[in-house]
A and B are shown apart, each in its own frame.
Chain A
């Protein structure tokens, strides 16, 4: 007999036992900080291009960013590893319960953290409560060519599988859910399961150093699950109990 863990409210166990759990491993030793993932993500997900002034003021809209840190004062500067930071798709996400409109919710099928743009009213509580600070808010109508005629030409390269967001809406990394669904639909029509490595997210696809690996972490034999078992594996801010789905491999 299977026990419905949801009924028991066994949060940790749900996160561990969940079926269909997608996950990611990022090897910080391999990352060169080239920003290819950032560009690919923006192309794939129709992420608005924010002008210089707004971007300089902390309003750049990227679902993934490459954080760089250094120690010491110039010129005696020692760089530490680059740290690509994206939504950690927490099993127990702090952003979810605080939304009054149920605009950010936990997906039971993919075990990721969804953002429902249509339901968002823009209280920005989720972004405040995100310990990883990976949510981006549409401060203006960046995508509306009536407001910004200069982007009319850019509109031709929108990805038709992804919506375009308007002002006042929160958004964030979706683990390229449109690619997950496409692969699942294809596999279903061919009467098989989605194979490991059959598709990957835009950031992982673009990474020239193969630092990003994506796949099912609930399948022990998948590449991502094997990497996640590495002794170099660590989770960001694990002490908060958010149960992140992204594993970082740090210098071993």
Chain B
């Protein structure tokens, strides 16, 4: 126990555990972050090359084939008009929710553990939304005409139909993609300036950083404008995030399909998005910590511990919403809904339904309650991975499996995925590829935010105990 040890050792223990109490001079920290970007082994390039090939083949080549031949090469049919395309769209939008959750909600509530990985999470938002965009464009029968959905009129002044949930989707996802990219870029400017100052003249990196840093010096005015803007963004992007996944859920909830027409779909989808998103964040953090140089200083077990707690709470909330949706449908006793619920559990894809509950509820609950277990990076990586599998199952059950059952039993038919499996793998590879490229180009750790946090934290004595004090610097 801590109180049996001498104070100095308790203090040391605290410093070892908490990044915020383990300050490092700014110059040294800059060096560490620059070094982490520049240290690249052959393994990195091997994975990078393999993923590039996979993206070229699975995403672009296969998509090209599908555009030329038509959606017949995919597995979508009647009645499952929406297949894995929509599953992946919902999945990637779900992943993108973690970034905003961490960098906006935790910023608003001043949760200090967020500081080292806000950018790592925000990158997931932007890159995840890009994959969601790919998935939804792939899904379209005539993707070359997708600009018709933009709010621009045709030659007869016909604008898009704003009655349609898909039009709302377009507005919401565009808003979210633009605002999350801006929210990624703004706090990056000081770190780009830092990288600019440490990059020798005459290299292409110098040009890259000089252009992107926009001439930032760090004057009082620049900091004030930046801080005001970040404050506005942190508050305003939260309702945007909620609206995005709610509107995605309305694509389903507005429809006259058994199992879809549910008023709880909005919050159920939002919590599901956070569930998969947080799972993805711990996976990314575990990989970054394990593979990038100097990251063990920045990302510590305390961070996995803190996110693990959030994951447990989100898993419980997901179970609550799932059960809420389930029991209302079950109790209603509508003929088709009953048929659908039976199909979910006892149909040929019933294993997926049980797999979803095991991955989303049983495993997180069994592991995350234990502080030591949830602080262990490899273990929480596995939990995060399983949660993502479970959440993908959930979307698969909601989209193609539920579509199998409708009010016209004559048309019931199972869905067998075709080329969309390759395309899905392509989006996953592209996500990882973008992330790998970004990790070598932009400082993954928001140095100035970590420095600010370390400035705000101090240790003081309260009686015989050493306690942590945090002050608000803003």
A and B touching (C-beta < 8 Å)?
Answer: yes
B interface residues with partner A (beta carbon < 8 Å)? 69-72, 76-79, 81-82, 139-143, 145-146, 148-149, 158, 160-161, 163-167, 170, 251, 254-257, 403, 406-411, 413, 416
Contacts of B78 in A (CB 8 A): 58-59, 127, 133, 136-137
In the assembled complex, which residues on chain B have CB atoms less than 8 Å from the CB atom of A121?
A: 140-143, 145-146, 148-149
Measured in the bound complex, the distance between the Cα atoms of B306 and A62 in whole Å is 57
Q: What's the Cα separation between A85 and B148 when bound, in Å?
A: 32
Indicate the size class of the contact surface on chain A: 35 or more
- In the complex, residue of chain B having the shortest beta-carbon distance to the beta carbon of A134: B408
A15 at the interface (CB under 8 A from B): no
Instruction: Give the complex CA separation of A123 and B145 in angstroms.
Output: 11
The residues in A between 109 and 155 inclusive whose CB is less than 8 angstroms from any CB of B are 119-125, 127-129, 131-133, 136-141
Known: A100-B164, A133-B408. A168 touches B79 (CB 8 A): no
- Shortest beta-carbon distance from B5 to chain A in Å: 64
Tell me the bound Cα distance from A115 to B213 in angstroms: 51
Beyond A121-B146, A123-B139, A124-B141, 4 additional pairs, beta carbon < 8 A: A120-B142, A133-B78, A169-B142, A240-B256
List of A residues within 8 angstroms of B71 by Cβ: 122, 137, 139-140, 167-168
What total of A-B pairs shows CB separation below 8 Å? 135
Closest CB pairs A-B (n = 7): A122-B141, A168-B141, A167-B70, A139-B72, A140-B72, A58-B77, A168-B142
At the interface, yes or no: A94 with Cβ under 8 Å from chain B?
Answer: yes
A101 contacts chain B at the CB level, 8 A cutoff: yes
- The reply on A237 being an interface residue by CB < 8 A is yes
A69, B411: Cα distance in complex, Å: 12
**Contact A100–B257 (Cβ < 8 Å):** no
* A123 B148 Cβ-Cβ under 8 A: no
Given contacts A98-B255, A131-B406, contact A125 B166 (CB under 8 A): yes
A17 at the A/B interface (Cβ < 8 Å)? no
Contact, CB under 8 Å: A119 / B141: no
Chain A hits for B254, CB < 8 A: 98
* Contact across chains for B72 and A59 when beta carbons are under 8 A apart: yes
- Known A-B contacts A101-B149, A139-B71; the reply to A69 vs B410 at CB < 8 A is yes
Q: Which of A68, A85, A128 contacts B81 (CB 8 A)?
A: A128
Does A99 lie within 8 Å of B141, measured CB to CB? no
Q: A58-B77, A99-B161, A102-B158 are in contact. Are A167 and B141 (CB under 8 A)?
A: yes
